[in-house]
Amino acid sequence: MPITQHAPTLALTLGMALVYLVVVRLVDLNEKEPLWAVGMLFILGALGACVLGLGVNMAVLELRVVPAVLAKELARFIAIAAGVGVLSAVAARRGWSEINGLMDGVVYGAAGGLGFATGDVLIHDVVLGSLSSLGELGSFGLSLRGAGSVALIGLSDGVFGALMGIGFAAAVHARAPLQRFLFPLCGYLAAVLAHASYEILGRGNALGGSEGLLRRWSALILPVLVVVVVMVVALAQEKRAIQQQLVTEADTGVVTPDELGVLQSVLAREVLYVKTLWRNGFGRWAALRDLHNRQVQLALAKHRMAADSAAESPGGVSAEVQQLRAAVVELKNSLEHEAQGAAPGPAAASLEPSPGRPAAEPRRLKKARKCDGLQDGKPARGAKQKRANRSGDKHKDRPPASPSDRRVGARRSTERGKTGGGR
């Protein structure tokens, strides 16, 4: 079959995957994961599906439920594990981790699962040339059932990946080695059970066609509910960590009271981002988001340190807290330096004079010069009187004259008067 026949199916699947990724990213309220990391998990998931499709007989993957589920979830598990391994290596090199809680596991796991769905469509419908059930495309559109199938497969693969991501996120900061092994395994088994029930309900003899599609949607209710509950709990923990752990950072200047108020309000933060993007451009907007992300990561790291009695060692979470503090200070210095070196405008005023015109002074410098009695390089109105008053104040500080000094002064004044009268 020509590839043009499969292009609409692939484009629709990719578009649906991107929509789900945007939804998951928007729900991640407190700390946005870096786009390069989310994209890496998406690509690894797609590669895992392609390798599986080329290495395993298609009849096994399409006709036998249990082997197909085990093989697909194993490939998805390996892809997500590879992504988590890369993130762990970056964390070891940089000093802090991008996986700071279960919410991060949901984001990265869903990205890997959605990438797997896209790669599965790519390998089966385009490379191998088999028109799947998604390819119900005509020349002018897509049937309602085909659109439902695309949305369903995107959601299901994202949920299965999210279950694995939750297990990996729980294992990243686990204390015991046994926990680091069991948590990802539990995530894999949860994904297998959810996927098997999804396939069995959809492939029953009496559950084909539209009824089978409806039953597949029903089979996802419990896994979706589990993921949603984990997300709500994780977001509540992040908010509590921000409120409790960043209050003490006001003394160090790492998080000011105004910044703490912004971090505690999603609406205030988004309004600030829009204003910054409109007034100062993309660069400062991105730097401000990075600053807030580091501050939230600092709160989560301090929360883990408070909960872990063994974190006082130099190589534990305490070292990560120090690295994050240093990163926050560096970002703040960068933003201040950028504001001071920016062109005159809403953000900052330049201190360098332009040819043919005087330099524009910032408000703080103008106010300071006015307080010193100078305005535009000249004495301000009332400055001479102020200096005279200060001069009078100096005479007030002199000690009073003695009686002998007063008699001598009176005699000299009389003599000067007589001399002046004679003239």
- CA–CA gap between residue 255 and residue 345 (Å, rounded): 26
Mean pLDDT by 10 residues, the chain (423 residues): 59 82 89 93 94 80 82 95 95 90 95 92 67 42 55 84 96 89 96 90 56 74 93 94 88 86 91 91 91 93 78 63 90 83 42 36 36 40 46 50 56 55 45
pTM: 0.74
pLDDT given at position 128: 56
Residue identified by tokens 């992040």 is 238
Q: How many CB atoms lie within 10 A of CB 281?
A: 12
Tokens standing for residue 346: 């809403």
Structure tokens at 164: 């694995």
The residue among 14, 201, 25, 217 whose CA lies nearest residue 117 is 14
pLDDT at 204: 57
Distances (CA, A) of 21 to 26, 163, 177: 9, 15, 32
Residues 226, 247 contacting (CB under 8 angstroms): no
Q: Are 318 and 312 spatial neighbours (Cβ–Cβ below 8 Å)?
A: yes
DSSP E strand stretches across 178-320? none
Q: Rounded CA gap, 16 and 260, in Å?
A: 36
> Based on the number of CB atoms within 10 Å of its own CB, is 135 exposed (0-12), middle (13-18) or buried (19 or more)?
buried
Contact call for residues 71 and 47 (beta carbons, < 8 A): no
How far lies 4's CA from each of 9, 13, 49, 55, in Å?
A: 10, 15, 21, 25
Q: Specify the pLDDT at position 115.
A: 93
**Cβ partners under 8 Å of residue 195, min gap 6:** 69, 72, 73, 156, 160
Residue with tokens 């330096």: 337
Tokens 């000690």 label which residue?
399
Q: How many CA atoms lie within 13 A of 277 on its CB side?
A: 9
By CB atoms closer than 10 A (0-12, 13-18, 19+), residue 43 is middle
C-alpha to C-alpha distance for 423 and 391, rounded to whole angstroms: 35
Q: How far apart are CA 200 and CA 194, in angstroms?
A: 10
Helix, strand, or coil (residue 33): coil
Of 196, 187, 304, 312, residue with least CA distance to 241: 304
Q: DSSP secondary-structure letter at 64?
A: -
- The kind and range of the H/E element at 374 are strand 374-375
pLDDT at 233: 95
Query: Measured over all CA atoms, what is the biggest interatomic distance in the chain, rounded to whole angstroms?
Result: 140
Which tokens sit at 28?
């991640």
- Vertex 61 angle, CA 126 and 206, to 5°: 105
Helix, strand or coil for residue 348?
strand
Confidence at residue 37, expressed as pLDDT on a 0 to 100 scale? 94
